[in-house]
Amino acid sequence: MKKFFSVADVNDLSSVVKEALALKASPNTYRSLGQNKMLGLVFLNPSLRTRLSTQKAAINLGMDVMVMNMDKDGWALETRDGVVMDGTTVEHIREAAAVMGEYCDILGLRSFPGLKDREEDYSENLFNKFAAYCKKPVVSLESATRHPLQSLTDLITIIENSEVTAKPKVVLTWAPHVKALPQAVPNSFAEWMCKAQEQGLLDFTITHPEGYELDESFTRGATIITKQEEALNGADFVYVKNWSSYQEYGKILVTGREWMPTPEKLKVTNRAKVMHCLPVRRDLELASALLDGPESLVIQEAGNRVWAAQVVLKRILENL
Ligand code: SN0
């Protein structure tokens, strides 16, 4: 593997999940693989799970890690070319990324979308420029349009909790929120689940209020239903996530409080397991009775972030 940005960077989903679960069973087998190799994690936005799980994964592989919080500790970065830097930005991404590339063998970058200019966000300009200028393999720690370490984790967790012979029904449901959130997590989850569906691993349905359609390039092959109850019928896994509108870019169209999954709503499912990438706003996005109940996978799912990061770093290290 040369980079990790989307589902396109992995061919056979079953084999990457198998490899991740083998690492979970035996985390220290590859302690010498990353020796004398430096991982740099660069955060332009906050992080809890991604930061800690990726550091832990690197340590399990014998790597050293440096973390840079650009939002708090770094210079304000300029990403545009051809501008006179007489405003608030101090350093251009050309130099900043190139310098970090001098110090590190692999780099990770987190950068949320601005949610104002759809074309700019969906061009993935920042991530692409960073990857080009640092000249090192780059792992996405959530970019403007995707969160691939989360989606790989989600697939690992679904397979880990599925019967070997059964093809589970996985439902992604929109949930309410008070803030306009990126489409990165649902886009990414959708593209991973569509590929998993193609590879015969599961069936995938998406449900959301009208106006919250995701960019079609991420959802091709999914069943899309705007009636939540109909979508949830017979579900084995319910993946809960809010996102802002893609069409009316970055906007909250309806408050949609009635979309919050509750034990009552999940009665039509096949005693579905409940998933969320976290952080979750209790009793706004998801009923606490579900979060605290026996069907919740959220903590196991967050724990699995380590094995997703570790399999990705392992594959990149093997290719250095
Ligand atoms: C981010 C998102 O993309 O939805 C990160 C998820 C891993 N979530 C948030 O920013 C939540 C912020 C909030 O105020 O609840």
Query: Residue 33 sits in a domain of what CATH number?
Result: 3.40.50.1370
Q: Mind listing the pLDDT tens digit for each residue in 211-227?
A: 999 999 999 999 999 99
Average pLDDT value for residue range 257-282: 98
Query: 118-139 burial by CB neighbour count: b if 16+ within 10 A, else e?
Result: beebbebbbbebbbebbebbbb
Work out how many domains the chain is built from and give that number: 2
Average pLDDT value for residue range 64-85: 93
Q: Is residue 232 part of a domain?
A: yes
Dihedrals phi, psi of 109, to nearest 5 degrees: -135, 130
Q: Using CA positions, which residue lies closest to atom 5 of ligand 1? A: 279
Q: Which atom of ligand 1 lies at the shortest distance from residue 185's CA?
A: 3
Q: Using CA positions, which residue lies closest to atom 10 of ligand 1? A: 181
Amino acid 166: pLDDT: 82
Q: Is residue 152 part of a domain?
A: no
Instruction: Note whether 200 and 119 are same-domain residues.
Output: no
Q: Using CA positions, which residue lies closest to atom 11 of ligand 1? A: 279
Q: Is residue 177 part of a domain?
A: yes
Q: Is residue 76 part of a domain?
A: yes
Amino acid 269: pLDDT: 97
Q: Is residue 157 part of a domain?
A: no
Q: Is residue 153 part of a domain?
A: no
Q: Does residue 185 line the site of ligand 1, with CB under 6 A?
A: yes
- The DSSP symbol for 75 reads P
Q: Mind listing the pLDDT tens digit for each residue in 167-205?
A: 999 999 999 999 999 999 999 999 999 999 999 999 999
Q: Which atom of ligand 1 lies at the shortest distance from residue 50's CA?
A: 7
Instruction: Note whether 76 and 179 are same-domain residues.
Output: no
Instruction: Note whether 17 and 137 are same-domain residues.
Output: yes
Spatial CA neighbour of 146 closest among 137, 156, 154: 154
Domain containing 112 equals 7-146+305-317
Instruction: Note whether 124 and 202 are same-domain residues.
Output: no
Instruction: Note whether 113 and 208 are same-domain residues.
Output: no
Assign residue 236 a region (left: φ > 0; alpha: ψ between -120 and 50; beta: otherwise). alpha
Q: Does residue 281 line the site of ligand 1, with CB under 6 A?
A: yes
Instruction: Note whether 122 and 227 are same-domain residues.
Output: no
Instruction: Note whether 284 and 311 are same-domain residues.
Output: no
Instruction: Note whether 311 and 280 are same-domain residues.
Output: no
Instruction: Note whether 67 and 87 are same-domain residues.
Output: yes
For 19-33, 69-83, 116-130, 304-318, which range has the lowest pLDDT when averaged over its residues? Answer: 69-83
Task: Ligand 1 pocket test: pick from 181, 185, 187, 243 the residue with the most ligand atoms within 8 Å of its Cβ.
Answer: 181
Q: Mind listing the pLDDT tens digit for each residue in 100-120?
A: 999 999 999 999 999 999 999
Query: Which two three-digit tokens encode residue 93?
Result: 């991404």
Amino acid 71: pLDDT: 82
Instruction: Note whether 253 and 173 are same-domain residues.
Output: yes
Instruction: Note whether 176 and 66 are same-domain residues.
Output: no
Instruction: Note whether 68 and 137 are same-domain residues.
Output: yes
Q: Does residue 144 line the site of ligand 1, with CB under 6 A?
A: no
The pLDDT-based confidence of 292 (bands split at 50, 70, 90) is very high
